[in-house]
């Protein structure tokens, strides 16, 4: 017998969803419906709301793909979202009832990506224990390069040399509201040349997101003689400054542009944050590590936390019954 009522999200839930995100202990602006829906044409949304009577207890940003439900594939991270009053027992029961609901609605598997611990406002790993009990399988693990900004910040000698070079080259850092220059002159050409790829966000999409979340999305560019030579796009949450994109001009000598930029971001602009997140250096679902990229991030003083992805059979809801003593 289920305790909670599971409901598929629809547009009428827009306000209650966003209100819940705003007060949850493990949510960021990426879970706001305006962010989730900027690319809604790419995904079949199947987000869930979890109620007990009329009270909303949890939400799950998600999309449907065949007979599988995924933590929303258009988001960097995900998982079950709940508030600080939600206890371990309730999270186990919520997971059980979600798996039961999915099983009854012909879903075979739930693919759940977690929220890395640095983004939690308070400890929120109750879901990890629930997944263990449900015999979920760890199917992917990425490594994030992160600086704890409350600890002493150390840069390697090579980064310090780059900083001196940037100062001698009289580089200038600007926070720009326009993403066009970085996208067209730096990011797109580099991704095409190096990875035969394009940015996850088009220029139209990143400009739209900036207009929706002006306090959370920032563009920092580096200039030499009024010419852009590098930059980064930052997604800012309450605890974390996260690098969404990093790129520099590669058809000339190294000017120290990124050394200069990240020294400024780490030691000045975001120094009051708890964490600075360079993001992952992985490929092939976490099974390959870009050694050079990881070393470059570590040379600023970053070290590793992991971001886990799980798969669980919906029929495993039975494994969450009769486990409380």
Domain boundaries, the chain: 5-142+307-320, 151-273
pLDDT for position 310: 98
Characterize 56-91 residue by residue with b for buried, 16 or more Cβ atoms within 10 angstroms of its Cβ, and e for exposed. Answer: bbbbbbbbbeeeebbbbebbbbbbbbbbeebeeebb
What distance in Å separates the CA atoms of residue 126 and residue 163, rounded to the nearest whole number?
A: 43
User: Looking at domain 5-142+307-320, which CATH architecture does it have?
Assistant: 3-Layer(aba) Sandwich (3.40)
Q: Between the CA atoms of 278, 279, 284 and 290, what dihedral angle is there, to the nearest 10 degrees?
A: 10
Supply the pTM of this predicted model: 0.95
* Domain pair 5-142+307-320 / 151-273, same fold: yes
What distance in Å separates the CA atoms of residue 97 and residue 92, rounded to the nearest whole number?
A: 9
pLDDT for position 1: 61
DSSP 135-178: T-EEEEEEEEEEEETTSPP---HHHHHHHHHHHHTT-EEEEES-
Alpha-carbon separation of residue 27 from 122, 149, 178 (angstroms): 10, 21, 27
Strands of the 5-8 sheet, one edge to the other? 5-8, 48-52, 55-60, 81-82
pLDDT for position 202: 94
pLDDT for position 196: 86
Taking the CB of residue 212, how many other CB atoms lie within 10 A of it? 14
Q: Report whether 241 contacts 276 (CB < 8 A).
A: yes
Spell out the residues 6+ positions from residue 269 whose beta carbon is closer than 8 angstroms to its own. Answer: 220, 241
What distance in Å separates the CA atoms of residue 224 and residue 230, rounded to the nearest whole number?
A: 10
pLDDT for position 154: 87
Say which DSSP state 208 is in.
H
Q: Report whether 20 contacts 113 (CB < 8 A).
A: no
* CATH code 3.40.630.30 for 151-273: yes
Q: List 173's β-bridge partners, or say none.
A: 222
> Within the chain, which residues score under 70 in pLDDT?
1, 252
What distance in Å separates the CA atoms of residue 37 and residue 31, rounded to the nearest whole number?
A: 10
Closest Cα partner for 231 from 239, 218, 221? 221
What distance in Å separates the CA atoms of residue 121 and residue 192, rounded to the nearest whole number?
A: 37
What integer best gives the mean pLDDT of the chain? 96
């Amino acid at each position: 017998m289920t305790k909670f009522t599971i409901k598929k999200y629809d547009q009428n839930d827009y306000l209650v969803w966003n209100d819940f995100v705003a007060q949850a202990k493990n949510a960021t602006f990426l879970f706001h419906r305006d962010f989730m829906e900027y690319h809604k044409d790419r995904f079949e949304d199947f987000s869930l709301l979890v109620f007990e009577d009329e009270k909303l207890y949890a939400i799950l940003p998600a999309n449907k793909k065949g007979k599988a439900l995924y933590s929303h594939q258009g988001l960097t991270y995900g998982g079950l979202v709940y508030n600080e009053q939600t206890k371990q027992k309730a999270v186990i029961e919520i997971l059980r009832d979600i798996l039961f609901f999915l099983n009854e609605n012909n879903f075979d598997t739930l693919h759940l990506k977690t929220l890395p611990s640095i983004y939690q406002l308070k400890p929120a790993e109750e879901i990890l224990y629930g997944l263990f009990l449900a015999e979920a399988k760890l199917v992917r693990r990425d490594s994030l390069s992160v600086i704890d900004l409350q600890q002493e910040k150390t840069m390697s000698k090579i980064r310090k040399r780059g900083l001196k070079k940037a100062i001698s080259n009289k580089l200038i850092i600007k926070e720009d509201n326009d993403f066009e220059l970085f996208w067209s002159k730096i990011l797109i050409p580099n991704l095409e040349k190096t990875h035969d790829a394009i940015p996850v966000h088009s220029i139209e999409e990143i400009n739209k997101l900036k207009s929706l979340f002006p306090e959370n999305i920032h563009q920092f560019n580096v200039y030499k003689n009024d010419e852009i030579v590098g930059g980064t796009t930052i997604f800012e949450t309450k605890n974390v400054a996260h690098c969404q994109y990093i790129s520099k001009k590669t058809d000339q000598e190294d000017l120290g542009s990124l050394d200069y930029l990240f020294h400024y971001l780490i030691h000045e602009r975001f120094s009051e944050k708890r964490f600075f997140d360079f993001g992952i250096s992985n490929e092939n679902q976490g099974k390959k590590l870009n050694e050079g990229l990881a070393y470059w991030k570590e040379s600023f003083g970053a070290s590793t936390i992991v971001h886990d992805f799980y798969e669980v059979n919906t029929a495993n809801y039975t494994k969450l019954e009769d486990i409380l003593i």
